[in-house]
Structures are given as structure tokens and as C-alpha cells.
Amino acid sequence: MTDRSSNTATVPDGRGPKGAPSGTLSARHIIFFVIAAAAPLGFAVGSIPLAIGRGGIGTAAMFIIAGGFLALFAVGYVAMTRFVPNAGALFSYITAGLGRPLGIGVAFVAAISYALVSAGAVGPFAVFAEQTAQSLFGVAVPWPVWALAGILVMGLLGQLNVELNMRVLGFFMIAEVTVLAILGVAVVSQGVASGISMEALSPAAIAEGQIGVVLLFVFAAFAGFEATALFREEAKHPVRTLRRATFGSIAVIALLQSFVAWYIVQAFGATVVDVANATPTEMFAIASRQYVGDWFANVVTVLVVLSWFASVSAFHNATTRYLVALSRDGVIPAIFTRRSRRTNAPWVASLTHSLFALVLIVLCILAGLDPYLDLFILGSVPVAVSIPAMELLTAIAVVTFFLRDRRGQSPWAVYVAPAVSAIALAIVVYLVLANMEFYTAQTGPINWILPGINLVVLGIGVARALWMRSRTPHLYDRIGRFGLE
């Protein structure tokens, strides 16, 4: 029989776990965090040209399709919120539906994935910072200096309370979205290259492109949206706030990036694919100069740097919360639950990840590795595979959790929507793995070694859970029980 956690209690009045302090974060605050973590400007400038160049103009429509599939997933995901009142997010739900060993294994994968993607994103942040300083101010500051400075600031923000982090990330996000919107309005209002066309949003555009390649890029834009549940204990009204934040985050990302992909196609018209392949890193700068002006292109350059840093900081916060959740369940040492008396920040977990990132950066510098092609690939490949895979397992867990007792929820919410989303996510995982050589731009063992990190870490987590079940059953029985006792 599957060993499932007993965390099936309903949280009255939408309150958080028993004994937890009342939260202060609204859905708007959490959406700011999620969108900032997705680095909307950094993603647009760095990934949309590649997606269009190698996958076709149907990229614009694929954002809407991917958002629809994730919205289906979110139906069951949100339904679980009322019955699993702790801040473990995906791993808590998998624990409840598929058992503690698999749940803990997934938690280990989530923690290492977020830790790696946060550290890996320091690479492009440092590269863009170096280029920006050189082009705007004529100051030659090598990327290692920017990388070490970024780690330092990330660590300092991690020691501050979450509301301050939300304000910082929210500022970045508003600036990024504003810049993207201004460029879009300028492109449309000044007359596009070949006239306004909706072809990029048509089914024909999708069919003519490389769907697998486009999906790999498009789903990366949504990475981190499930982190809404990590802030359950800080939310004003956990159930209602997290429901609004989850669906709101998916909608904002899908609509924003679809609009950006559509208007960049309009900006270059029939030559868009050629331009995207020839000058992918300069595509948005060219459009900015042509439709707005040189000053605007400079603003975009600066904000791209800030966008990458916002992503670094946001994934750092997510990592610390996974460490706290694991520590609270007794899976890793209790010291990770310690919080600052002044800011209430999980300072030990934050410091641990900061040191982890610092070690990776120093090793990268000493080995003479490329900060983007090596460091960023190391950080992004595990998460590119693990996020849709964890969402797939969560969708299955939702169905199994409610299989014997729907607990008053509709069949649509707990059976149909999760099942359909599970099928879609299984296809996405397959396509991501099938296109790994394209993603890394390398051949050989690295294309299975990097995704294999997830399997190794999953095995370690499962082994830890089984060890606890046989050696410390009193601690094992507490896994997933925080807030229910």
C-alpha cells in the first residue's frame, strides 16, 4: 500500500498553519515575486529571439497554449491548498497524494533545482552587467567582479524580511513590464514593417514551426509560478490569496510574453526569422532604437541587468523556503528553521544557499568557464527538466489524493483538470528531453548527465525518507504534518 501522509485537514477561515503568525502578503505581492522570478525582460531579450529564429513565429501563440495547460494544472493545485496547509508547495502535495518517500525525493530535487538556477542566473547577470558598464560608461569591470557583487547583494537581501524583498522585486518587475509595454505600443502605433498581422497567433504558424523547440523556451517563461504556495504562511488569507496569485501569475506571464513575441514579429515583418537567427542578442536593441530611440535602448540594456538580478534573488528566496520546509519536517537538520529575531527571515537557510552559490561562482572563475554557456547551462538544465516533471507528479498526486474522498470538491477540479494537465505535462517533459542537445548546444554525455542530476538527487531524497521510516519512525510520521497538530 502506498504510504501517504495524513495531512488532510481543512484550514478553517483560510488561516495558515496552527501557531503560525498572521500573514501580510496579498495576491499582488506574491504575483510580483513570481513575475520578477520569471525575469520578463531578461527572458524576452534572451529567449524570444531564439524561439522565433529556431522555432518560428508561432512562438507568440504557444505562450497562450502553455498558459492554458498550466491553468488546468493550477485548478487541482489550488484545490489541494485547503487540505495541505503547509508551505512545501509541490513536494507537500506529492507527499499527500503519492507518499512520503517520493514527496521527500521531489523536495530534494526542488531545492537543488532552485539553488542551481539561482546561482546559474548569476552568470548572465554578470555578463550583461559587464557589457552595460563598458558600453554606457566606458568602465571595464570583468564579469567575476559583478558575479561576486551579485552574490553579496543576494545574500544581504535574503537576510531581510520578505516584504522588503517583495518591494525590491516588485519595483524591478514594474519597470520591466513598463519598458516592454512602451516598446510594444511604439511598434504598433508607428506602423509596423509589413502591416499589422495576426498570423503569429494562428494555428498554421504553430504547425509550420518546430513545436518541441518552441515549447522548451516557452515553458521556461513560467518557471517558478508554482512558488506561490511557498508563501502560504505569509499570505493574508492563504486559500483565497494563493488561488488569486497562482492564476494571476499564469495569466500575466502568458499574456505579456505572447504580446511581446507578437509585436517583435510585427517590428521586423517578413525578415523576423532571419534577424532572430543572425542577431538574436541585439534584436530588441535594434527594435528599441528604430521605434523609440537610442536613449530607450540604453534603458532596456540597464533593465536587462536588473531583470536577471531580480530572478537570482527570487529563486534564492524559493530555495530558502524549501530548506525551511524540509528542516521543519525533520528531514534535514533543524538549524535551517532558524529565523532572524529582527526581520523574521530564514537566515540560516539563506546563508547556506548564498555560500553554495559563492562556491559555484568561484569554481567557475578558477576553471576558466564561460559564465553564460557553462555556468548558466549548469544551472538551467536541471530546472528545465524538473519543473514540468514535478508538476506532472503533482497533477497525478491531486487525483490520487481525492480518489477516495472528494472532500466536497468538484470532479472537474480534482479529477478531470489534473488528468488532462498530466497528459500535457508528460508530453512537455518528453519534448524537453528530446530537444536537450539543442538546449545545451552541445553533444555527448553532458546532455544526459545534467538532466540526470535530478534522478540522483531524487534517489538520495527517497533513500533519506526510507531511512527515517526504519530508523526514526516518530520523525517520519511527522513529515507533512506541520500545521495539522
Which pLDDT score, from 0 to 100, does residue 481 have?
61
Helix, strand, coil shares of the chain, percent, nearest 5, are: 75, 0, 20
Amino acid at 414: V
HEC profile of 183-201: HHHHHHHCCCCCCCCCHHH
Which pLDDT score, from 0 to 100, does residue 86 have?
57
- Spatial distance between the Cα atoms of 49 and 59, rounded to a whole number of angstroms: 10
**Averaged confidence pLDDT in the chain:** 84
- Spatial distance between the Cα atoms of 145 and 361, rounded to a whole number of angstroms: 10
Integer-rounded Cα radius of gyration of the chain: 22
Question: Cβ distance 350 to 155 under 8 Å?
Answer: yes
Q: At residue 47, does pLDDT exceed 50?
A: yes
| Least-confidence region, from 41-45, 59-63, 138-142, 394-398 | 41-45
Q: Tell me what the mean pLDDT of segment 384-410 comes to.
A: 91
- Spatial distance between the Cα atoms of 364 and 359, rounded to a whole number of angstroms: 8
| Least-confidence region, from 100-104, 149-153, 412-416, 428-432 | 428-432
- Spatial distance between the Cα atoms of 470 and 17, rounded to a whole number of angstroms: 28
Q: Which residues contact 349 (CB under 8 A, 6 or more apart)?
A: 319, 320, 321, 323, 324, 327, 336
Q: Tell me what the mean pLDDT of segment 130-147 comes to.
A: 91
Question: Cβ distance 125 to 308 under 8 Å?
Answer: yes
Q: At residue 8, does pLDDT exceed 60?
A: no
Q: Tell me what the mean pLDDT of segment 164-185 comes to.
A: 82
The distance of Cα 149 from the centroid of its chain, to the nearest Å, equals 23
* Tens digit of each residue's pLDDT (9 = 90 or more) over 347-383: 999 999 999 999 999 999 999 988 877 888 777 888 8
* Tens digit of each residue's pLDDT (9 = 90 or more) over 419-428: 999 999 999 8
Choose from 165-169, 267-271, 373-377 the range with maximum mean pLDDT.
267-271
DSSP 386-450: HHHHHHHHHHHHHHHHTSS--TT--HIIIIIHHHHHHHHHHHHHHHHHHTHHHHHT--STHHHHH
Q: At residue 147, does pLDDT exceed 90?
A: yes
| Of residues 394, 417, 78, the one with CA closest to residue 239 | 78
- Spatial distance between the Cα atoms of 39 and 42, rounded to a whole number of angstroms: 5
Question: Cβ distance 296 to 182 under 8 Å?
Answer: yes
Question: Cβ distance 78 to 243 under 8 Å?
Answer: yes
- The domains found in the chain, sorted by start residue, are 12-476 (1.20.1740.10)
